[in-house]
Amino acid sequence: MNNYRYLAYSVVLTLLGFAIWIIFGDHEKIFKSIQQIGWHGFLFICLFSIINYCLRYLRWIFLLRQLGDRFPFIDGLVCYISGFALTTTPGKVGEAIRSVYFNRRHRLNNAHTLAAFLSERVTDALASLLIATIAIYTFENLRWLGAGFTLLLVAVVLLVNKPDLLLRMCNLFRGIKIRLVQKILDLIPVFLLRASDLLSLRIISFGTMIALLSWSAEAFAFAWLSHRLGGEASTLLYMSIFAIAMVAGAATFLPGGLGGTETVMYLLLKLTGMGGAEAFTAFFLCRLATLWFAVVLGLVSLLWLENNPTKLQLE
């Protein structure tokens, strides 16, 4: 329930933020820039978002097959996309709701799907940092962000592959005789074991390669959009700005990176020489076609899953 509250809050705050920005900005230029892109341009950006989602789903299948799990392709796709409905939770942790549906509909162990979820987050972050390299090199003030995020990823991988400390910490909570707490504590050892399997060098390398392709698709769409709005920097730099903005948003741990991602995009676009109205339009349309497009698809998928229970759910 709290996750849906996060979604409602994020929608309201986003609409309010955009409205204030437009009112106090050069709204005539902003509307003109939006018209310049038009529906065809917006749908073109959405197409690259769909490419991103499809590639990430193929990676999801690969990760779970490493753990011996199989499921129908189409129903699995709907379960996977359902997680996007809660992308606007802090750190995107709400996306883990897909584990519920994979368990209900296909009897997949929650520890397996949560381990795949962690592997996804790590490889997404690695790919984003790689794409962001040019921006980190170009804008000196961003270097600390790249270094800090890299250290965080290294720490996560090391902790998962050396789980003794985490398991000892979990044992401290064994005295809490609450059923949900005990179920979570029972899940953690299996989760850590499966997560270490999915964070091996071979799997991380393959997962990061898929992530590079998927996030490069959205980054390229952002670069195309920036050029259409009069941007004169290179395609690679605009792709890199998109990636570092995603990293900055994740680093804030705000719902969906809201606020942090948009601010970094806007400021860096301005530093490339783009006008304020054009920079606003670029991040506004980009976020609509990536974050909010994903949320809408996720909500549609959630509704379909809830209204189309399988035999497994009814047993």
**Residue 272: inside a domain:** no
Count of structural domains within the chain:
1
Confirm if 198 and 119 have CB atoms less than 8 A apart.
Answer: yes
* pTM, entire model: 0.85
> How confident is residue 69, by pLDDT bands cut at 50, 70 and 90?
very high
Segment 158-171, tens digit of pLDDT? 777 776 666 666 66
**Residue 216: inside a domain:** yes
What mean pLDDT is predicted for residues 65-76? 95
More confident residue, 294 or 10: 294
* Domain extent at residue 240: 2-28+38-51+63-265+285-314
Cβ-based neighbour number of residue 135 at 10 Å: 25
**Residue 20: inside a domain:** yes
Torsion angle (degrees, nearest 10) of CA 89, 93, 95, 97:
-110
More confident residue, 254 or 150: 150
Calpha distance 270→114 (Å, rounded): 39
**Residue 152: inside a domain:** yes
pLDDT of res. 315: 39
Q: 């519920």: which residue's tokens? A: 100
Segment 79-132, tens digit of pLDDT? 999 999 888 776 566 688 899 999 999 999 999 999 999 999 999 989 998 999
**Residue 106: inside a domain:** yes
Q: At residue 197, does pLDDT exceed 60?
A: yes
**Residue 234: inside a domain:** yes
Segment 249-268, tens digit of pLDDT? 877 766 656 777 888 999 99
- The contacts of residue 102 (CB under 8 Å, 6+ apart) are 71, 76, 79, 108, 113
**Residue 57: inside a domain:** no
- The contacts of residue 145 (CB under 8 Å, 6+ apart) are 136, 244, 247, 248, 251
